[in-house]
Amino acid sequence: MSLKPAAAGAGITFRRSDLGIDIPANLAHLGPTQVLQTTLVKGQATVDTVEHLLSALRGLGIDNVVVELNQSEVPIMDGSAAPWVYLIQEAGVKELSAPRKVLRVLRAVTVERGEKSISIYPSDTFKISYAIQFDHPMLRSQKKTLEITEASFIDEIAPARTFGFLKEVEMLRQRGLALGGSLDNAVVLGETGVLNPLRFDDEFVRHKMLDVIGDLALVGHPIAGHVSVQRGGHALHAELASELMRQTESWTLVDASAPAGQRVPVVSTVVA
């Protein structure tokens, strides 16, 4: 899999080199179900688990890139966005002369699904408040609010790994799924505790914040707005992105203050 620079205004595109099909990373190509992961679809071509890479690209301010891969799944790496951040930083980033546009939220947009809810409010910066709640002795409830900058993303969000429950992993494996899952690419919770060491005491909610950054990247622009989530997941994140795009009077596109130029990565390759 390779990350290659793209022209100004091109956005993020996943290229299935084995099929000769390009899939733009936008809501028009969002797959029909978004439960455990985010999937993009174009015709018979799909790209699965795009959320962590999209989160890294948005967190590092990458506007235009071609993600070329010869399979349907983006490598899970260690279950976080940190490996992508490292590889992009090692390759380098080039700033273009074309100005960057930011989607500035003008009025609140909310989606509610029972006990789950997600909203976005006007804000001068991109900020996330996330709250989760699970019936597990090691998890229960966690909440966190953070302004998302390149520095805060790298230090506080990117290293947070995906998580799951041991009983769910076992059920998936019985169905022939999650066969590559291990303690090397996820935090796994058993009946009474965590089976591998945590990177943060609140790593679970931090990873949810990582996910929503990646899912909201599908709107196609950096966002100036305050996202607030209660018991969210990929499907709810996608619903907010779609509703935000539908309510065109709730936002406007403005020139970014600094850095002003769009950014692309220098070529970076992952073998997985």
Asked if residue 234 lies in contact with residue 40, where contact means CB atoms within 8 angstroms, the answer is no
For the beta carbon of residue 106, count every other beta carbon within 10 angstroms.
12
Which residue in the list 29, 207, 221, 234 is annotated as catalytic?
Answer: 234
Give the chain's end-to-end CA distance (angstroms, integer).
8
Cβ pair 232, 118 in contact under 8 A? yes
Cα 249 to Cα 104, 105, 106, 253: the distances in Å are 11, 9, 8, 11
Concerning whether 234 is annotated as a catalytic residue, the answer is yes
User: DSSP code of 248?
Assistant: G
Helix (H, G, I), strand (E, B) or coil at 240: helix
Cα separation, 2 vs 66, in Å, equals: 8
Could you give the residue ranges of the DSSP H alpha helices within 51-161?
A: 51-59, 82-91, 150-152
The residues that are catalytic are 234
